[in-house]
Amino acid sequence: MKLITILGARPQFIKAAAVSRALRDEHKGTIDEIIVHTGQHYDQNMSGVFFEELDIPKPGFNLEVSGGSHGAMTGRMLEGVEKVLLQEKPDWVLIYGDTNSTLAGALAAAKLHIPVAHVEAGLRSFNMRMPEEINRILSDRISTLLFCPTDAAVANLKHEGIVDSVHNIGDVMYDVALFYRERARKQSTSLRDLGLTEGEFALATCHRAENTDDPERLGAIIGALAEIATQLPVILPLHPRTRKLLADYGMNQKLGGIRLTDPLPFLDMVALEQAARLVLTDSGGVQKEAFFYGVPCITMREETEWVETVEAGANQLVGASRDAILNAFEIAMRQGQPNIKAMPYGQGDAAVRIANLIAQH
């Protein structure tokens, strides 16, 4: 069986590491995986280092599509993926998550009548202003196999009338967290390099368009982080696009004591997530990683696809209000580590279950 995997963004590389490993370990000689990198995340820190650190097979194709509007980017990816599929004639196409790369891969395959398997199917923010929400809804509608990470995701699909070939296999990110957490502790030098002490700093990320493209929201977030930095060191790894927008908006002078870094390699990020006193983010993946490592999280969005983290009391949703972020910070500092009694994201075997279900089909 020939399987084409479509990847383009940092979170997809992380999930693919687990599934690609399972495909090699469980079905070597029966499933031939070819990776197509769209190029959506293209520099070394956002892409290349992930393939090296996570031992992901080298991409068979790199489309080098990056930059531009959502429509332009998706269109160029669709054209490039279609050419690869016509050349390789795979039996299946595997997609991850909710990016433009995901949608382009799903559309190209569906139009060529190639079955699609979607990892992280069924997630919903119920916010149609998010490009990711549109991508995931459309991808789910044209997928043949839908791999859901939670019961809530299965329920979302059922509400939309999608019940066939829907599988709750757990969260691949939990597999990754279990596999790499000790390796990150042993191999990463990020704490020493940044002069940090475990449990005595906050780790922040901010990259979603709803926050970065709105000067008022971004200004409120930066203002809150700068205030927090007067009480607790704040480390903010920045996507190149967000760094540029800060300069364009004239906000660099508002950073105060926030310590900016370039995007961090995966193992360094995992090491910091585990060691942080607190995580503040608008990233879905970072929310969950904080949850896996028992670190309190403040999510700077109006909603989350990962409702289980909020229900467990480990994650506070605050939007982009400076006062709400600071209030949540005070609550998190008083409460300390969340008491997580149950893991709603499976048993850490999601990747193996995905590999086996693909093989069965």
Same domain, yes or no: 355 and 271 = no
In a domain, 191, yes or no: yes
pLDDT value of residue 50: 67
In a domain, 245, yes or no: yes
What is d(CA 162, CA 156) in angstroms, rounded to the nearest whole number? 9
Same domain, yes or no: 158 and 194 = no
Count of domains forming the chain: 2
What is d(CA 166, CA 277) in angstroms, rounded to the nearest whole number? 37
Same domain, yes or no: 210 and 248 = yes
Same domain, yes or no: 233 and 288 = yes
pLDDT value of residue 111: 97
List beta partners, residue 166: 146
Same domain, yes or no: 157 and 199 = no
CA angle 124, 129, 135 (to 5 degrees): 55
What is d(CA 62, CA 7) in angstroms, rounded to the nearest whole number? 10
Give the catalytic positions in this structure: 207
Same domain, yes or no: 303 and 355 = no
pLDDT value of residue 7: 95
Count of CA atoms in the C-beta half-sphere (13 A) of 310 = 15
253 burial type by CB count under 10 A (0-12 exposed, 13-18 middle, 19+ buried): exposed
| Sheet (strand 202-204) strand order | 259-261, 234-237, 202-204, 278-281, 297-299, 315-317
Q: Any idea what DSSP says for residue 47?
A: I
Q: Residue 287 belongs to what domain range?
A: 178-335
Q: Any idea what DSSP says for residue 44?
A: I
pTM across the whole model: 0.91
In a domain, 186, yes or no: yes
In a domain, 340, yes or no: no
End-to-end CA distance of the chain: 10
CATH number at residue 325: 3.40.50.2000
101 contacts 38 by C-beta, under 8 angstroms: yes
In a domain, 341, yes or no: no
pLDDT value of residue 181: 95
pLDDT value of residue 66: 78
pLDDT value of residue 239: 85
Q: Is 301 helix (H, G, I), strand (E, B) or coil?
A: coil
pLDDT value of residue 21: 95
178 contacts 254 by C-beta, under 8 angstroms: no
Same domain, yes or no: 135 and 262 = no
pLDDT tens-place values along the chain, 361 residues long: 999 999 998 889 999 999 999 999 999 999 999 999 998 765 545 455 667 788 888 899 999 887 788 899 999 999 999 999 999 999 999 999 999 999 999 999 999 999 999 999 999 999 999 899 999 999 999 999 999 999 999 999 999 999 999 999 999 999 999 999 999 999 999 999 999 999 999 999 999 989 999 999 999 999 999 999 999 999 999 988 899 999 999 999 999 999 999 999 899 999 999 999 999 999 999 999 999 999 999 999 999 999 999 999 999 999 999 999 999 999 999 998 888 888 899 999 999 999 999 999 8
In a domain, 90, yes or no: yes
The neighbour count for residue 173, using CB atoms within 10 Å, is: 24
Same domain, yes or no: 262 and 166 = no
Count of CA atoms in the C-beta half-sphere (13 A) of 162 = 24
What is d(CA 235, CA 205) in angstroms, rounded to the nearest whole number? 8
Same domain, yes or no: 151 and 189 = no
Same domain, yes or no: 152 and 292 = no
pLDDT value of residue 338: 87
183 contacts 213 by C-beta, under 8 angstroms: no
In a domain, 296, yes or no: yes
Same domain, yes or no: 151 and 239 = no
pLDDT value of residue 43: 54
pLDDT value of residue 225: 98
In a domain, 102, yes or no: yes
Q: Any idea what DSSP says for residue 242?
A: H
Same domain, yes or no: 157 and 197 = no
**Which of 19, 311, 282 lies closest to 147, judged by CA?**
19
Q: Is 334 helix (H, G, I), strand (E, B) or coil?
A: helix
